[in-house]
Structure 1
Amino acid sequence: MRWTVYGERSVYDSPWMDVRLADVELPDGRRFDHHLVRVRPAAGVAAVDGEGRVLLIWRHRFITDQWGWEIPGGRVEPGEDPGEAAARELVEETGYRAGTVRHLLDVRPSPGVHDGVYHIYRADGAERVGAPTDVEAERIEWVPLASVPARAARGEIGSASTLAGLLYLVTAG
């Protein structure tokens, strides 16, 4: 059953997000304003080495007040290719340059609330080229991919996009 959208209006707009109200009608005829958020796309990369490990950052997220492992990533700048954004974020956040980067999947973590898409890439290998320039992590470590399910079960991976990408890698090989 498809909803009818009569229009949208912005309530708050910034470079990070646009909070909007959409005038919608359900198939049963009920019509109301639905809150939604329009966000710019993001991209991240899981750099995997020859030993079955992935390069992750351990960071704190103030919104949820939680620590967790994440793949390096961030916003895709206007006109930027998502794969290039993922590779750029890897260097900025870890000091490692990606090997060959290939697209794995796109994740839309909460399509009932926002239109955000997180493009996830895999890099086969990564070379240390210096210190991170965008320091967001308390630790940067090569973590065994085989440990991902147990880490997720313990709540050590709180990011849905990171979890989706890592579990994809674990199951797809």
Structure 2
Amino acid sequence: MRWTVHSETPLYTDQWLDIRVADVEITGGRHLQHRLIRTEQGAGAVVVDEQQRVLLEWRHRFITDAWGWEIPIGGIKPGEGPAVAAAREVEEETGWRPGPMRPLTVVHPSPGISDSTHTIFLANGATHVGEPAEDWEAERIEWVPLGKIVDLIGEGAVSSGTSMAALLYAWAKLRQG
């Protein structure tokens, strides 16, 4: 059954978040006051080289106090398309300029609370152009064999929902040929 949204009221808004409460009608005419987070869209890429290795960032996330491998991903700037944003994010975060970008998938990481949308691309290869633009994005940048992704997920070394979904889908697609 489809829920009916009667209204949304802002609770807190800044440049990154728009937290709201929605009056939502569910079955039997009942209403919920449901909290939700509205965000800008993001874009990222799974970059795979000729040796079937994927470009990943090893980073710490303070909110969950966890370390893990992630794909490069970030916000889409005004006037920028998702593919351009994904390529920019790869280069800024890793120091590698990705090859041609092809649409891979769209991920909604937390659809029960947020409208966050991540458009993910698959890039064939990359050229090293220098150091990452910021030293805080990742502890290290590495080319990790794509065949190890399933084991890394099982070990908890990939826990970001978007990275996990994108890497598993890229792994499956590339295995199909």
TM-score range, shorter chain: over 0.9
Q: In structure 2, what residue type is equivalent to 1:148?
A: I
- What is the deviation of 1:158? 1.1
Please state how far the C-alpha of 1:21 moved relative to its aligned partner: 0.4
In the alignment, structure 1 residue 57 sits paired with structure 2 residue 57: yes
Letter in 1 for 2:165: A
> Letter of the aligned partner of 1:122 in structure 2?
L
1:137 corresponds to: 138
Aligned match of 2:172: 171
Q: Is the aligned partner of 1:96 residue 2:93?
A: no
Shift of 1:131: 0.8
5+ residue gaps in structure 1? none
Superposition RMSD in Å: 0.8
Take 1:99 and 1:160, find their aligned partners in 2: how far apart are those partners? 24
SS of equivalent residue, structure 1 residue 114: coil
Cα separation, 2, equivalents of 1:71 and 1:159: 9
Residue type at the aligned position of 2:70: E
Q: 2:116 is paired with a residue of what secondary structure? A: coil
1:28-67 deviation per Cα after TM superposition (whole angstroms, max 9, x unaligned): 1111211000011111111110000000000000000000
- Regions of 4+ moved over 3 Å: none
Q: Aligned residue for 1:120?
A: 120
Give the deviation of 1:27 after TM superposition.
2.1
Spell out the pairing of 1:37-56 with structure 2 (5 A cutoff). Answer: 37-56=37-56
1:19 deviates by 0.3
Percent identical among aligned pairs is 51
Q: 1:79 is matched with which residue? A: 79
1:94-143 per-position Cα deviation (integer Å, ceiling 9, x unaligned): 11101101110000011110000011111100000111112211110000
- TM-score, normalised via structure 1 length: 0.98
Structure 1 Cα separation of the partners of residues 106 and 14 of structure 2: 24
Equivalent AA in structure 1 for residue 164 of structure 2: L
How many residues are aligned here?
173
Aligned-partner Cα distance in 2 for 1:134–1:149: 29
Query: What SS class does the counterpart of residue 100 from structure 2 fall into?
Result: strand
- 1:130 counterpart letter in structure 2: G
Q: Which amino acid aligns with 1:163?
A: M
What is the DSSP-based 3-state SS (H/G/I as helix, E as strand, rest coil) of the residue aligned with 1:28? Answer: helix
- Residue 77 of structure 1, CA deviation: 1.4
> Quick one: distance in 1 between partners of 2:91 and 2:4?
43
Could you say what secondary structure the match of 1:134 adopts? Answer: coil
